């Protein structure tokens, strides 16, 4: 009886040790995507009236959790019954990530007309503000759904040869981290300027230490979001390039003397701009046909 109990405890300890190792590997693989997820959602969750930022972020968080509840069972079923589909979805997702990275680089390098910013605090009724919030929440949840698929599939790709129980535990942990961790940090980021204002108004002294810290926090928010967007774009290219290098033998064995990171960046850029170019070509082609129809 005692020996059976100790054997069970030993099996559990071994399982948790394996889970910890695989979770660490999966976290490294998905770190780039988590960074992009963080940057995207910090941008989408900012710009609201101060007392609406947290409610909006909570609505996005609930949508993100629902996304995971939809994606995880489908991913586990594919892994159990159609494992080769994981690699196919991974490669398709790699193309999408490369495309998104190339699109961001193109928008940064090529001048284009910016969308007119809308101030939520000026000349808008409560109904209009809530409608804008609803649209931004919907957009954030859709983006989260796409990124969540990639996070789950990449994580599953790192543990696809492990027993199904370990797959479920590891992928679920990373998925939970992708929601709780990311949106927890986003909440801190979007409230940075509000905290800065509170420090500025903390006392009536001019140019006090709290005033200086507060002004730094207020001015830092847009810079932090912009910096995270740049890091996220680089991560998109690296993650997508890594997917192709590690899952297609031709690219894996191509230029073996080159550092892996260089191959991943070049491949991510090439695939990304090829996909972006194809998308733009067909978009203009179909747009032209609609005009003549």
Segment 163-219, tens digit of pLDDT: 778 788 888 888 888 788 777 877 777 778 778 888 888 777 777 878 888 888 888
CA distance 16 to 10: 10
CA distance 158 to 60: 28
CA distance 197 to 17: 46
pLDDT, residue 268, reads: 93
C-alpha separations of 29 from 44, 98, 199 in Å: 24, 16, 39
Euclidean distance between the first and the last CA atom of the chain, given in angstroms as a whole number: 80
Maximum alpha-carbon separation in the chain = 81
| Angular region, 167: left φ>0, alpha ψ -120 to 50, beta rest | alpha
Residue 268's nearest CA partner among 13, 75, 95, 93 is 95
Segments of the chain scoring below 50 in pLDDT: 1-15, 116-118, 120-121
CA distance 179 to 25: 18
The residue count of the chain comes to: 293
CA distance 229 to 40: 7
Residue 190's nearest CA partner among 59, 48, 60, 36 is 48
Segment 247-276, tens digit of pLDDT: 888 888 888 888 888 999 999 999 999 999
Q: Which tokens sit at 256? A: 């073996």
Q: Is-contact 48 133, C-beta < 8 A?
A: yes
pLDDT, residue 118, reads: 47
């Amino acid at each position: 009886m005692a020996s059976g109990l100790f054997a069970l405890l030993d099996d559990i300890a071994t399982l948790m040790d394996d889970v910890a190792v695989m979770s660490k590997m999966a976290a490294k693989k998905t770190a780039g995507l988590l960074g992009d997820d963080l940057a995207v959602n910090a941008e989408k969750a900012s710009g609201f009236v101060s007392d609406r930022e947290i409610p909006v972020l909570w609505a996005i968080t609930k949508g993100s959790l629902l996304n995971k509840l939809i994606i995880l069972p489908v991913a586990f079923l594919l892994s159990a019954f159609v494992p080769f589909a994981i690699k196919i979805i991974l490669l398709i997702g790699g193309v999408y990530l490369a495309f998104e990275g190339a699109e961001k680089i193109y928008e940064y390098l090529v001048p284009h007309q910016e969308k007119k910013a809308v101030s939520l605090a000026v000349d808008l009724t409560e109904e209009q503000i809530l409608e804008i919030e609803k649209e931004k929440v919907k957009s954030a949840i859709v983006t989260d759904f796409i990124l969540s698929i990639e996070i789950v599939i990449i994580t599953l790709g790192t543990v696809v040869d492990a027993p199904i129980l370990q797959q479920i535990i590891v992928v679920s942990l990373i998925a939970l981290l992708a929601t709780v961790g990311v949106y927890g940090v986003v909440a801190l980021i979007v409230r940075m300027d509000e905290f800065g204002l509170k420090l500025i108004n903390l006392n009536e002294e001019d140019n006090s230490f709290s005033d200086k810290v507060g002004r730094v926090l207020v001015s830092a928010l847009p810079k932090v979001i912009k910096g995270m967007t740049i890091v996220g774009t680089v991560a998109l290219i690296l993650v997508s390039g890594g997917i192709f290098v590690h899952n297609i033998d031709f690219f894996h064995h191509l230029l073996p003397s080159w550092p892996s990171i260089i191959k991943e960046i070049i491949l991510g850029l090439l695939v990304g701009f090829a996909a972006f170019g194809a998308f733009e070509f067909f978009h203009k082609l179909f747009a032209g046909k609609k005009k003549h129809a």
